[in-house]
Structures are given as C-alpha cells and as structure tokens.
Amino acid sequence: MIIRKIIKNKMEHESIFVFLLVLLLCIMLIFSEILFSTNAHRIQRNEVKTSLDAIAENTKNALVDNIEGNIQMLESLASLIGYSHTNGVDTQVILKEKTFFEQLKIVSSQSKFLRMQVVDSNYKASSVYSNGKVKQENVKGSEIVTKALQGERGIAKTVWDEELQDYTNQYAVPIYENGVQKEENKIIGVLTGVHSTDSIRVLLNSNLMSHEKVHAHIVDNKGNFVVRNELYLLPKETRNIFETMTLGKENIEIMKTALANEEVFYVEAEANGQVYALNNVAIGINNWNIMCIVPINVLTSETIDWFRVQQFIFLLFFITLLLLLFYIYRMMRKKNKAMYELAYIDPITGTFNRNKFLKEVPKYIDSSKRDAIIVLSINNINQIKNLYGTQKFNVLLRQIGQVLKVSLNQNEIFALGRNERFLILTHCSTEEEVYKKMMPLLHRIRLIRILDNQGTQAICSMGVRFITHKDKKILEQRITEACMTLDSIKQWKDEILFFSSKIYEPEMLKSKIEDSMEEALKNYEFKVRLQPKIDLKTGELKSAEALVRWIKDDGTIIFPDQFIPIFEKNGFCVDLDFYMIEQVCIQLKEWKEKGYPVVPVSVNQCRLMLYEQNYVSRLCDILKRWSIDPSLIILEITEGLVIDDIEKSTKVLKELSDNGFHISMDDFGSGFSSLNSLKDLPIDEVKLDRVFLLTIDRENEEKRDLIMKNIIHLVKELKMKTVVEGIETIEQEQLVRSMGCDMGQGYYYDKPLSLEEFSNKYYN
C-alpha cells in the first residue's frame, strides 16, 4: 500500500514535471520568436537604411563628378578664350575664329551641350546650338551669368527652355584674361553650356542603383523637385516631396529641418498602401539634395524570405510541442482518472474513503435541520485480527460496509476512514433518532460471522457529533470531535455516545497551551513565585523554592497542573526550566547589588533535563552571565527521575555537584522510593512529600510518624538536610520539628509570593 502510494506520487510528479517542462519550452519559444521578430524588424530597418545610405552617397558622387566634369570642360575652353583675347571678348569676332569654333564643337559634342554661349562683360552673348545655329542676344538678368562674372562657377537650377522645348540646366564659368585665374587677371567674359535635364536624370536612373526599384530624385531645401525620376512611384504632376505620401507630422518636421540644414535623414512613410523608406543626403550645390525612395520590402526581400523560413521552422517546432503538450495532457487525464480511484476509493472494501467522504458530505448536508456525523469503531479489533488474521478481518470490514449500504438511505453516505473506523453521515437530528436508527444496525453487525460456527462477534461503538450546514468548512474538526467522543467510551459493548463540550475541553486546552507557549515564553508570561523554606529551629528564612505561574497579558491564569504535564510530554519543559533558572539568577543578582542577605533558591528540573545535550554547561553559562555562585542554586529533581535511570542520573548529578550546585530530591516518599539509592547519589537535601501529612486515622498516623522519624534520622546520618513540604497547621509544624526535621515549607508559613512581595516581606 505504501509502495503503491510512493510509485503513484512519483509518477504524478514526473508527469507534472514533463508537462510543465514542455509548457515552459512553449513559453520560451514564444518569447524567443517575439524577440527574434523584434530584432528581425530592427535588422531589416538597419539594412534598409544602410542600403539607402550607400545608394544616395553613390548617386551624389556620380552627380557631383558629372557636374564637375562638365564645368572643367567649360573651364578648359574658357582658358583658351582668355589666353587668346587678353583685351576682352568680342562675341561677334570670336565665333568667326575657325580654331575657337572647332574647339567649341568638340566641347559641345563631348559634353552634349544643347547650346553654348560666349558672353562679354556687358552681357552680350553669342550662342551656338548643337545643330550649328548661331545667335546673337543680350543675357542681362541671367543669374548664373552674373555670378560667373563675379567669379563664381556653377550650374543653374532646372528651367523650362522655350526655344529648346525642354527642361535644361545651364553651366557657367568665368573667362579670365590670359586664361589664368589670378588676382591681377580680371574677368573678361563668361562661357556657358546648356544641358538637357535628362542628362542629370540619367544619373538618377536605376542602372546606377544597386536595385532596379530604388529611385533617386534631386530636391531643393524646401522639398521641391529639381530633377525627378518619373519612371516610378510619384505622379507626374507632383512638384513637392511633401505632396506625395503620408509622412506624418513628426517625419515632416525631421525632413524640413534636415533639408534646411543640408543634413542626412532617414524616415518611413506610406503611399498607395505600401511602406516606403526615404533617405536624403545633401549634394552641396544649389541647396540640392539626393533623395532616394524605395518600398521597404524591395530591399529586405531576401531577409524577409530568410525570416519566413525561420518562422516556418518555428511554427513546425511549436506545433510539435503543442502536440506533445496535448499528448501529455491526455496521458495525465488518464492517470488522474486512475489516481481518482486510488484517492477516493478504499481498496479493501470498495467503498468511499475518508477523502471522498470529506468531499461529498457538504452535498448531503440538510440545510434545514441538524445531521449526525457518526464514527463507528470495532472495539475488539485486535482480538479479531489476532484470532483470524488480517484477511478475515478485511472480509469483516466489507460485510460491515454491506450492512451500512443496506441500512442507510440514498441521501446518506458512509466511508471507511482511518484506523478501520467507518464514517457515517445520517439525517438524524436528535439523539432519539440516532438510537432508533443505529442500534438495529449495531445488532446486525453482531450477527455477522467471521467463520461459520464460531462465536466471536464484532462489538462496535459509535461516537456521534451533530452538525449543521454551517459546519461544512470544518468537517474534519467535527469528525475529530466524534472520534474523541468514541475514544472516551470505556466499556466493551454496543454503545452510542454523543459529543459534549466536556469531552473536548482538555483537548482544546492542550491545543491552546501548545499554540501559545513559545510566544508566552518570549513575552515573559511565565512568572516566578517564591515560597519560603523556614528553619524549624530558629524560625528564620533558610531558603526558598521557585514555582512557576503562567499569567497572560490579559490577566488570565493557566495553572501549573494544566500546563506542566503537557510540557513534559512535548519537551517544552526544558526551555521553561532554563528560563526559570535565568529569571531566578536575575533576581538574585538584583538582591545582591542591593546588599540583601540572599538565601539559596531551589528550582525544579524536569526529567528531560538530564538528557539535554550540554545541560550542565548551559546551566553554568547562565550563572556566569549573571555572576551568581552555584551554591545559591538548588536543583530539585524527583525521586522518580533518579530511580528510572540511576546510572545516567548519578553521572549528571555528580557533574552538577562538582560545579558547585546543590541537589535536592523532591517528592521523596510519593513513589517507590529506594533508600539504598541515597548513598550513591550526591544529594544535599531530601524533601519529604506532603502525602506523609495527609493521614487521617489514628493507626496510620502512628505508622506514618514512625516512617517519617526514621527517614529523617537516616537522611541526617547521611549528612543531608531534610525538608517537609505541605505544612499547613501549627500541629503539623510541631510534629515535623519534634522529628528533628531541618526545614518546613507550606501555606502555614506563606503562600508562593511574587518577587516583589517576597522582597518586601523577607528583605526589608
């Protein structure tokens, strides 16, 4: 039975462990996937930003290189013009020069200028078109020409050229006399070249990008398109980047600030139901910026595919774990079903067990009146087991179960509880109803024959505890009360006994004492009371006995005969005895410091103290702590303690005596005293029990007097002091004094006094 329970518990724990382990793996997997997805998103965004940064930078470099190349080509021709015309540029004459005109055609064809101009310092210009056409005109008001005349080389913004019917960008470089830029050489003219904006747009084409769907635009510092890629994404009529997509207030602020300050930015925006990444880098020319735009999924397609593979693997693994979890759950349900039978069905009788009884009883309790919890026990259980064996006894239990099943109603319940006791719930609300229903049942049990033709009968008793629906939550307590009622039956007969508070009072008191004893010790609820021992020759105080009283903070008193037996059983008496010795030492120290003529105080020692590890050393430590001489402490031990283990007692008492303690044998004569043992023990004092003074008839008095007189004489011969306790009258005092006793103790002299009362009476 025990092995099966151990195996069952082990299997249950293992199943739960595996289930929790798999569940934990699932949770860890989910968190890992969340973490993985979060990191994947961050990695994707970093990948997009890094890619666009590289694309924008490459595009910027290509554009700057192209613009710089065109400007340098113009500067080469301008240098030639300046070298040949040191006195200024005559725009009408210069075009007639065959060498210059040939050079102009070469530059125009290599740089694909649609139109080139030579402008003098008065803005008179001669224009040569790519088709050979020549035109004279005045270009005053041209911003790019004005800047060139001021020495600034560069490229103009994109404009619509009516004559060329195209969007164009004009380059311009100054012409210096002698063809060299020096302080002493003044600007004598300007050379310009006009490109179709398409030549720049080609640089923004996707063949320069690392991915065909990434497109770049040139925008100014206000977001207006300077040169735009019209092949993808943005509508043709769009003139400003802020008109194209849903950017959001925060992104717009970031972009405007970055464009104004020629700073790099990266944002994400939505357009046409798709998320795009926008990256910007300043070119450093005309407040232009390269802005790359691309759908995020374009740059992350490979990464996304890899992430999808990972997610698919995760999903497969997660499904596998879920299937495993489901399998374990089903397996545990199957085991639980089997364990239910183990948990709720008694294997011997096949009836409910105690656990099931406790679970089901609340459903059966009548809410309108009292019910009865009954505990049925076989009184002669050991006799039956010894005569017929366990197997036959189990048959008897099953037969009793059948009797109960037939005798009880359908709305009543029974089970086999602990110690082969049956638990019964019956709808009987009075003692009369219980007797009327249960006595016939007990009679039917008596009729059961364990073996054919044998006369041994099962004699049963019942303990009954009435309950109401309010007792549903304390059923175990009510069953315990019914068991206590059953245990109080002393006779071997069919008997039914009903619970009363008197039966439960001792157990309640014991529980109350054990629940509060440790806290009481911490709170100093155990008070020392001193009862004097009087010298019978002089009538003076000779010694005192420390007695314990338990007085709770609310004034409630628990008497020694109530708690001492409990402490002796549960071992708490050891703690209490050490506590009492320390309290006595504290008081002795106080009296000594006040200069009082202190007398020795005796303290009772329980049986367990002799078996306490380091008992003597602990006592010595207490006395050292309070600077008390061991001769002021008398340790009282009972004669029963000594007689039980004379060898152990002798060893411990000798060690105490060697350390200066005085030993008193208490209650001498109350048990089976061994006078012979006195010679072997280091006893300093013998206390005769009060039973010697309780004799009431004349004949016994004479015998008592003879016994007491001889005990006192014998003890004195052994050089020990004698004390008689329980002296309550002057006659008793005169009697023990006449016998030669040394000291008397009892209510005739004083009751046990508080420390303050004792001090005031005997030391002041």
Residue range 591-638, pLDDT digits in tens: 999 999 999 999 999 888 877 888 999 999 999 999 999 999 999 998
pLDDT on residue 207: 47
Is pLDDT of 674 > 60?
A: no
**What integer is the mean pLDDT of 93-97?**
64
pLDDT for 352-392, tens place per residue?
999 999 999 999 998 888 999 999 999 888 888 888 888 98
pLDDT on residue 9: 56
What are the structural domains of the chain? 217-293 (3.30.450.20), 365-499 (3.30.70.270), 516-759 (3.20.20.450)
Q: Given pLDDT bands bounded at 50, 70 and 90, which one contains residue 2? A: very low
Angle at 645 between CA 642 and CA 647, to 5 degrees: 95
CA distances from 759 to 580, 595, 746 (A): 18, 12, 18
- Report whether 154 contacts 144 (CB < 8 A): yes
Tokens of residue 581, six digits: 């010795």
Q: What's the start-to-end Cα distance of the chain, in Å?
A: 71
Helix (H) or strand (E) run with residue 657 in it:
helix 646-658
Q: Given pLDDT bands bounded at 50, 70 and 90, which one contains residue 343? A: confident
pLDDT on residue 233: 62
Q: Given pLDDT bands bounded at 50, 70 and 90, which one contains residue 206? A: low
CA distances from 698 to 501, 695, 701, 733 (A): 43, 8, 5, 18
**What integer is the mean pLDDT of 675-699?**
78
pLDDT for 479-495, tens place per residue?
988 998 888 887 777 88
Tokens of residue 721, six digits: 């002091």
Other Cβ atoms within 10 Å of 666 Cβ, number: 23
pLDDT on residue 581: 97
For residues 523 and 269, the model is more confident at 523
Q: Given pLDDT bands bounded at 50, 70 and 90, which one contains residue 339? A: low
Q: Could you tell me what percent of the chain has a pLDDT over 90? A: 35
- 3 state DSSP class of 712: helix
Is pLDDT of 272 > 80?
A: no
Q: Distance (Å, rounded) from C-alpha 745 to C-alpha 728?
A: 9
Q: Where is average pLDDT lowest: 114-128, 323-337, 553-567, 652-666?
A: 323-337
Is pLDDT of 1 > 50?
A: no
CA distances from 680 to 136, 300, 639, 646 (A): 150, 101, 13, 9
Give the predicted TM-score (pTM) of the model. Answer: 0.48
Percentage helix, strand, coil for the chain under 3-state DSSP, each rounded to 5: 50, 20, 25
Q: Given pLDDT bands bounded at 50, 70 and 90, which one contains residue 90? A: low
Is pLDDT of 171 > 50?
A: yes
**What integer is the mean pLDDT of 246-266?**
84
* Mean of per-residue pLDDT scores for the chain: 84
Helix 301-344 vs helix 2-84: crossing angle, to nearest 10: 170
Q: Could you tell me what percent of the chain has a pLDDT over 70? A: 85
Q: Given pLDDT bands bounded at 50, 70 and 90, which one contains residue 260? A: confident
Q: Given pLDDT bands bounded at 50, 70 and 90, which one contains residue 49? A: confident
Other Cβ atoms within 10 Å of 157 Cβ, number: 15
